[in-house]
Structure 1
């Protein structure tokens, strides 16, 4: 990988103005440079102090510290085990998706929603001699799942802190009751359940148009088996409200059950809610839900009902078609004597035929239904983001070494006529990981308001500093500037401590603060040491945490 040199703001603006490095905004107006200085200056308004102010990109590093460019500082808001409120609730394990909800419109005080994505047992991974978890281990494991809602503020010195006396701070765990909504509620597919226990492995999330949060349950299999939970009750997208405890936690079965990765929400041209979804596992597909009803801003939280009924699709990337997942189509395909089970399913045709009896079965086994109907399995489509100007969908395909996809890539989905409710789309590769692009294994993605794409890498902890990913050293956070033209390298903004990786990057409304999760490797994984990061008094082991990064000003 070619050496990156620190660059000045003037050089950086010129770099963007020539479209040398990245990815996206030529269709948006932001990318229409036309040889003028206007567009570059607009990206870095000194009046707005946007997060995209110039910074000196850092070099790849392999040590136990969280590294940032000169002039930036990370404030640890909460780490695993920290008390978050007077009740004594503690911050969960495996920090991931974040979202800041201002209090009274403030950019420096609000509630921070943080998901917990551990698909192991956190520090409680010891087992009895018979190989099973003890009751105490099960209790600890489930208590660490879900989400933490913490209250945070920036003090007079500019440091971000958590208010541990907040009455608004709370936990959502593997023990809270969740209502099932939609077609699978009460069905045989979920063994008649209308209410289920808790949530697990909540890596991804998205803020809804009405101010709630949708969270995707990811690789739930190991947790479900080891804790004795009903597997059909997990793998859904659930909805919660950051500030309203009375809002009933609910899992929306109409959006399908699979190993969820990222999600993104928008509206179709006729006002229907569209939720794009990806998977966190190999061979997963890209999905789209389109509500039956239409969105009304005046309805507020009542818009949650729109997620209880609609159509679920999966993408055929070769044909550029959205395939509706229906029981009629699945049964028709399985009844065809020429049908052969696609290899990713690894199941007998007879088993699949017995599995699908009604529409609830299609939703409960959405991945199987999608592959049966010809949707395209991909290499972990874990990160999703909508471009803020043209609305096109970006999906990160993290990697799949056995397919020869070592460094991953990002693709772009452009709906027909620019309508998210369309039944067809164009598809292309927007950026490929590797030495020429300056990043590897992209996972979580987000755009800032200027159309610059931020992505966090997820190179396997036990492969760091080895083989063809060795040049990238530790995992990082990268900026791909707003330009459609390809070439050049991504700009590395942060380097993760040791074998950790970043996730859930999000911005405060004024884009002067970046919130970022630091996911430490799971216990027992063979990986480079992270020392005792975050290295606070009393820290004796590396801890997953969430940080606020400041320094985004002229």
Structure 2
């Protein structure tokens, strides 16, 4: 592995000097936040979370940490979302995505031919997935930590009852059910206008397959997964909802905004090779005075898929696109089989559309396309889409490639996106753990977090802010209300480990690696 090779560190340094001459080290912005100006760091292969000079991080929560009420923080934390107006104390929703081959779990599991998960291992996995609500507070010394025993601390797991909403609720396409058990494969997400969280089920099919191989464990209906889940962190007794109006596929995230008439608009990408991007428009308008009752707007509307060649949004609706009636009996079936319906009417296959975020100044839509090695696209790119008349309810648009990955730009495989208050785009990368520092990915070192100005003289300039530990991925960036704390997940450090006693990473505590949420701030 390259992180043991001293000559590779010299290679990285040479590539860095070539791509980042000294004159580009500072981010020239007339306005800014605590994270707007920094000296970009070079690629690294070290087993540490590395930040620019002048910044520090604290561990907020780690896998297995006691929440003070008998619950424990789950595995492979991903998306984070801060709730509350107090920049020093609030609630944090955190996704827990997947387990993998369980090789670093204390009960042990290694992929072997014919080996299946035991019932006990499946029970462990179910509990460690889903998400966590944790109350967090900044102490007198400036360190963030969990408020142990808070009544808000809560786990949503693979065992939690969750209600269906929308056209697929009770439809034959989901077995006629109105409630399902559990959520997992929770990747990224979003926040609603009424202050609840979206958690998106992504690679659910792999988990369903693993669990279904054990005949002692009740089989799962795969149509019950692959949805966007709404959770209310402020109400510990609330039942989460799966909104079928947003379609069923490998959701990366769901970002919400308003159209010109006041209708809700939600964008989402399908994170897989040759899949599409979607948006939902509600039938009725958003009314702020109704608060959380606005959640009902997610039950009626139209889901669209993008035709990138025609610059059109195509309705996945039996009445608006009668051709769908040739293949699908009900609107619920259309939504359960979103991928098939999208391709059937001409949705454009793309190179792993992942996170989608909306620019806070001009409303343009930024889309991360991670890569598609089947097409020779190893580095990915970020699209910038502008709706016609700058109206998110429009059914036509134009788009451009905002920036392409590769050695010329200094980053590869964009995944999670975030905008700061100044309109700078922050990008987490997701080079596969087994490909890091190898082949075409040699120049990039470990995965990282990058800042890219979207306007001004440095528009499109990629600047590395953070470097992840060995085999980790940085995900789920979210700023506190005052912009002085950046929450971020460090996911799957040492993912290629096969022996818990000899892991490939020992971040963060010098022992077996533990996925953790960190809080980054200026020193």
TM-score of the alignment, normalized to the shorter chain, above 0.5: yes
In 1, distance between residues paired with 2:460 and 2:398? 25
The answer to which structure, 1 or 2, has the higher relative contact order (CA under 8 A, 6+ apart) is 1
Q: CA separation in 1, counterparts of 2:248 and 2:109?
A: 26
* Contact 1:433–1:439 under 8 Å retained in 2: yes
Residue by residue, what CA displacement relative to the aligned partner does 1:248-276 show, whole Å, maximum 9, x if unpaired? Answer: 21101111000101221100111100000
1:142 offset after TM fit, Å? Answer: 0.7
Post-superposition CA distance 1:472-501 (Å, at most 9, x none): 110000000232677774111100000101
Counterparts of 1:98-177 in structure 2, within 5 Å, are: 98-102=80-84, 105-118=85-98, 120=100, 122=102, 123=105, 125-126=109-110, 131-177=115-161
**Equivalent position to 2:287, from 290, 293, 296:** 296
- 1:78: how far off? 1.0
Q: Distance in 1 between matches of 2:314 and 2:494?
A: 37
**Count of residue pairs the alignment pairs up:** 495
Quick check: 1:502–1:518 contact (8 Å CA) kept in 2? yes
Residue 81 of structure 1: how far off its partner (Å):
0.9
> Offset of 1:523 from its aligned partner?
5.2
Q: Secondary structure at the match of 1:262?
A: coil
Aligned to 1:468: 440
CA contact (8 A) 1:7 1:57 kept: no
Task: Tell me by how many angstroms 1:209 deviates.
Answer: 0.4
1:506 & 1:543 partners in 2: Cα distance? Answer: 20
CA contact (8 A) 1:64 1:529 kept: no
Structure 1, residues 15-55: CA drift from partner, whole Å, max 9, x if none? x3xxxxxxxxxxxxxxxxxxxxxxx33x13xxxxx233421
Residue 5 (structure 2) aligns with = none
Q: How many Å apart are 1:163 and its aligned residue?
A: 2.0
The residue matched to 1:261 in structure 2 has which SS? Answer: coil
Q: Structure 1, residues 407-443: CA drift from partner, whole Å, max 9, x if none?
A: 1000011001011001100111111011221111000
Distance 1:127 1:68 in 2: 35
- Tell me how far apart the structure 1 counterparts of residues 254 and 190 of structure 2 sit (CA, whole Å): 6
Matched, 1:497 2:497: no
Q: CA RMSD in A?
A: 2.3
| 1:241, distance to aligned residue in structure 2 (A) | 0.7
User: How far 1:88 moved relative to its partner?
Assistant: 1.8
Task: Give the deviation of 1:166 after TM superposition.
Answer: 2.1
Are the equivalent residues in 2 in contact too, given 1:51–1:511 (CA < 8 A)?
Answer: yes
Q: Tell me, yes or no, if the aligned pair for 2:427 and 2:450 is still in contact at 8 Å.
A: yes
Correspondence 1:54 to 2:68: no
Gap runs ≥5 in structure 1: 17-39, 45-49, 336-352
Q: Specify the SS of the correspondent of 1:322.
A: strand
**Mapped pair 1:239 → 2:241:** no
- With normalisation by structure 2, the TM-score equals 0.90
Please say if 1:91 is aligned against 2:73.
yes
Q: Over residues 74-99 of structure 1, what are the superposed CA-to-partner deviations in whole Å (9 max), with x where a residue is unaligned?
A: 101111111112x2211111111111
Q: Report the TM-score, using the length of structure 1 for normalisation.
A: 0.85
Contact kept, 8 Å, 1:119 with 1:201, in 2: the verdict is no
**Aligned with 1:229: secondary structure?**
coil
Distance 2:280 2:154 in 1: 30
Task: Please say if residues 470 and 494 of structure 2, whose CA atoms lie closer than 8 Å, have aligned partners that are also in contact.
Answer: no
Look up the match of 1:12: 26
Three-state SS of the structure 2 residue aligned to 1:242 is coil
Separation (CA, whole Å) in 2 of partners of 1:5 and 1:521: 27
The 5-angstrom pairing of residues 317-396 of structure 1 reads 317-327=308-318, 332=323, 353=327, 356-396=328-368
CA distance in 2, matches of 1:485, 1:333: 47
SS at match of 1:455: strand
SS at match of 2:253: strand
1:398 to 370, 383, 398: 370
The equivalent position to 2:482 in structure 1, one of 493, 510, 515, is: 510
The separation in 2 between residues aligned to 1:485 and 1:411, in whole angstroms, is 20
Local SS of the residue matching 1:277 = strand
Cα distance in 1 between the residues matched to 2:311 and 2:448 = 32
